[in-house]
Structure 1
Amino acid sequence: MLWLIILLLGVTACVFYRVRRRKLYEIYAQLQVRATCYPVIGHTYLMKNSDGDGTVWFKSLGRLAIENGGVISAWIVNKLYLVVADPDTSEVILKNCMEKGYVTQFIRTMIGNGSIFAAVDIWRPRRKVLAPVFSMKNLNEFVKVFDKQSMIMADLLEPMAGGADFSVWRYFNTYTFDSVCETTLGIDLNSQKNPEHKFLIAFDFVSQELAKRMVSPWMYPEFIYQLMPRYKQFDYHRKVIHDFVDEIIKIKLQQLSTCPKGDNTDINGTEKTFLDMMIQSSDRQEKKYSDLELREELMVIVMAGTDTSAVGASFAAVMLSRHPQVQEKLHHELDDVFGNSDRALTVEDLPNLKYLEAVIKETLRLYPPVPLTAREVTNDVKLPSGITVVNGVSVVLDIWAMHHNPTFWGADTEQFQPERFLEGPLKHPLQFQPFSLPMRNCLGYNYAMMSMKTMLANMLRRYRILPPSHMNERELKEPLKVTFDVMMRHIDNYEVRLEKRIK
């Protein structure tokens, strides 16, 4: 009798598997990508990184999706993926598919169950704790940190003014790292003047290693990856980061145990940090954050907050160097707000920098730091096209493609025109989603915008950004060549020149 039950269960499982696979093949037939599907590997060969001419897989597939009405499908080994370049389809997926994509599991080896990539049942209660922490009232308090750190950055840039070509990346990256660490952990690492800090070195190594693994399917299985020599290096640097953050949490908990409740400052008399606010916010919830949960959420803020702002601002600097007329309008706006003074930038100044915000948004449209996000389909979902996708399908929301879709942005979609964001509401709320929308969007959107506006404002008050000396007029008009790891990055490492402004 037992063997009969086992046999029936086995037959049922086989039938279910074949039915589900048949549905996947039906979906693929309706949304087929125009590229050869090879045995075993499927379309995996399309996931190549830049080959030097700026052709990256999410751009190639994104263009194919745009040409195919906004959605295509492709086999990555034995898994079916949809690639979406249409805001209407994106909206349906984002509202109905809450689980993040399979490849995000590799980032979880670093951040654990940090809410940005956690399973839904973990994400929901943590979101309730985190949402109040990112209120505008709290974020406004951090502008003083952004101003202080960006003025340090502007001072360090002075030797570069009037000199040769150089990369702004190191300056912007260490600025955002110091700002994030001070606002999140309450410590000033001073990495702008000391870029060899062990935490920064470990952070940089781990970020690059995660990126390599995401685009290397042969390293997906955990047991295989752990057999590789590179795993020991990854594990060592991960431990450096975790130990550092754990020590900060331990010290902070000791301090808060003696700090009067309701005080707006920490025990040292400084403004509260994200860590302070998370501890106190979780104290008010039914389930208090453990030390591990605090570390996981802090890792999300540090990793996401550092790279996204630095990448976005670096792309903006390069675009301004290539569009002097845009930079001139920006300088006029800064002069209207600050005059000839060298006063500190305040939170009241940020709403007045409307053109600067439009410049940043247009840069994020053309070169979104996170050019794609992924979701898993767990229940049947009917797309606007009428096609129903089923459990087992993964969806890549191609943000780059949605930002370049001419149906929503017009025939001049490849042109850098900040005025787009000053002309009124967009045709579709999801045609622009550099930080994803809705439901599981990035809580740090306003934080990142405030940080980028402050750093670029304080830089441009003192300098004019010029293109590299070796570039000709034709090259300056071409789209930037990019590559992709965890973020989209500039192949030429954000090279520019600087000259001091004469007001």
Structure 2
Amino acid sequence: MRAFQILGRDAFNRDGMTSVWHANRFFTVVADPIIADVILKSCLEKDDIMKLAQLLTDNGSIFAAVSIWRPRRKILASHFNTKILNDFVSVFSKQSEILITKLKETLDRGSFSVWNYFTTYTMDAVCETSLGVQVKSQHNPDQPFLKAFEECCDLGSARMVQPWLHSMTVYRHLPQYKRYMKNKYFICDFIKKIVQSKRKDNELHQISDMNGDQYTGSDGVKSLLELLIKNSNFTDKELQEESVIMVLAGTDTTAVAASFTALMLSQHLDVQDKVYEELREVFGDSNRAVEPDDLSQLKYLDAVVRESLRLYPPVPVITRKVERDVALPGGVTLIPGCGVVVNIWAIHRNPHYWGDDAEEFRPERFLDSALKHPAAFMPFSYGPRGCLGYRYAMMALKSALASLLRQYRLMPDNESYATVKREPLRLKFDIMMKDVNNFRLRIESRN
């Protein structure tokens, strides 16, 4: 992660761009939103380095070639509408209540890592809303599906930053490859069985409708997978690929964002107090479940989440491949063959767009004024290939935090923290950006 930080600051002094060699590949590093806007709208193909992720995702649209991504995105986009997302809030609320219950065990333990609690929350919420299954990882943190995903992510990120492992000819002979594929087969077999089961359920629905019978299938909210089976012509293989993407993208990104936001609130108690006052205005003394209308009223909480995402975007960089000449502002032209790293971490801290206090955590900046450029804030990517699940992630995040902060006060891991100078968080990069100290904090009951 330190390399991205150094390159970002170097780009600030070079009109928003710098360059670097990664093994035998030349990359242009961008830290200016105006330049990033041009690149992310002109260069839609992911850089070849991202093909390493396809060992798990195959042709899942997030990493797929444009020819595969474009038609799939049109179908997927229609299933992230407001009505469907609002239906998911009941699931987020239910899983948040389990999260609150599980956190009770930490009340007398002092400092602890909140990471595993948010990871299991997001895994359960994502699997129920995306796949229509309850994996109950909050009740069992060693749940095999969760562990298989975690190990694939760890192995994949380690390979990505070690160029000598990029060659499949080399990698397939290493023990890491065998471990990776063992976990991949488990994940794919798990999802394949779910797809087949949901496909069969849909066929029974159709038969019941034809016969005028009342079908008593799965109750409650329809998952994205069930909706795709009903409304699209995706094959089982395509459904499996997109299901892997939904779980991969939905679990880690939301867990990282929630963990950083909780950490920031534990270190900025004045901000946390303002969030709590807003929650009291919306919910009063009630411990009722969060509803869709509540989320739209939580303006300050929304600003807090956005400020956390600005300083600590879960995916700190985006890579793209240049396939034709691309003229950039300032007279520079990118030529085919080079790669581009859009440094989101640096763009979000560029003082020209965020002011002299760009390094500070100040949620009010999202309430005081509009963005100076649309691409100055891109925590979930930007442009035609921007993340479809952005609103989904924000709703899952705010639902969990709204439930959590009504019950608990988040405190810094060190009791003397308030009397000493704050040090910048130490960060690491393993596909997602994470805290080196694993998001440690303390909680106190508000009752």
Q: Same fold (TM over 0.5)?
A: yes
Does the CA contact (< 8 Å) of 1:184 and 1:275 recur in 2? yes
Structure 1 segment 90-239 matched on structure 2, within 5 A: 90-239=36-185
Whether contact under 8 Å (2:148, 2:186) holds in the other structure is yes
CA distance in 1, matches of 2:283, 2:384: 38
- Identify the residue that residue 273 of structure 2 maps to in structure 1: 328
Q: Which residue is equivalent to 1:276?
A: 226
Partner of 1:303: 248
Instruction: Tell me the distance in 2 between the aligned counterparts of 1:336 and 1:270.
Output: 30
Q: Is the 8 A contact 1:115 1:126 kept in 2?
A: yes
Q: Do the aligned residues in 2 keep the contact of 1:132 with 1:281 (CA within 8 Å)?
A: no
Q: State the aligned residue count.
A: 442
* Aligned-pair CA distance for 1:477: 1.7
Q: Structure 1 length normalisation: TM-score?
A: 0.86
Q: Secondary structure at the match of 1:141?
A: helix
- Conservation of the 8 A alpha-carbon contact between 2:202 and 2:230: no
> Following the alignment from structure 1 to structure 2, what is the Cα–Cα distance between the partners of residues 347 and 271?
14
Identity percentage over the alignment? 47
Larger deviation, residues 348-357 vs 72-81: 72-81
Distance 2:104 2:421 in 1: 25
Asked if the contact 2:44/2:66 (under 8 Å) is kept, the reply is: yes
Give the equivalent residue in structure 2 for 1:294: 239
Q: Which protein shows a greater Rg?
A: 1
| 2:430 alignment partner in structure 1 | 485
Instruction: Give 1:476 deviation, angstroms.
Output: 5.5
**Secondary structure at the residue paired with 1:493?**
coil
Instruction: State the match for 1:8 in structure 2.
Output: none
Q: Measure how far apart 1:474 and its partner are.
A: 6.8
Report the Cα distance in structure 1 between the residues aligned to 2:139 and 2:62, rounded to whole angstroms.
31
Distance 1:471 1:388 in 2: 52
- Give the conservation status (yes or no) of the 8 Å contact 1:322–1:476: no
Q: Quote the RMSD (CA, aligned, Å).
A: 1.6
**Aligned pairs for 1:5-84 within 5 A:** 56-84=2-30
* 1:313 and 2:258 aligned: yes
Shift of 1:75: 1.9
Partner Cα separation in structure 2 for residue 102 and residue 423 of structure 1: 40
Distance 1:340 1:472, change over 3 A: closer
Q: Alpha-carbon deviation of 1:144?
A: 0.3
Displacement, 1:57? 1.1
Q: CA deviation at 1:472?
A: 3.6
Asked whether the 8 Å contact 1:381–1:390 carries over to 2, the reply is yes
Q: d(CA) in 2 for partners of 1:76 and 1:197?
A: 37
SS at match of 1:172: helix
- For residues 448-470 of structure 1, the C-alpha deviation after alignment (integer angstroms, 9 at most, x for no partner) is 00000000110000000000126
TM-score by length of 2: 0.96
CA, structure 1 residues 453+366, in 2 after alignment: closer, same or farther (shift >3 Å)?
A: same
Q: Which runs of 5+ in 1 are unaligned?
A: 1-48, 50-55, 283-287
> What code does the residue aligned with 2:42 have?
N
SS at match of 2:292: coil
In the other structure, the counterpart of 2:363 is: 418
**What is the CA distance between 1:343 and its match in structure 2?**
1.1
- CA distance in 1 between partners of 2:423 and 2:255 (Å): 22
Closer, same or farther: CA 476–360 of 1 in aligned 2, 3 Å:
farther
Corresponding residue number in structure 1 for 2:402: 457
Q: Take 1:266 and 1:485, find their aligned partners in 2: how far apart are those partners? A: 44
- Tell me how far 1:158 sits from its aligned partner: 1.2
Per-residue deviation, 1:250: 0.5
Dislocated runs of 4+, deviation >6 Å: none
Gaps of 5+ in 2: none
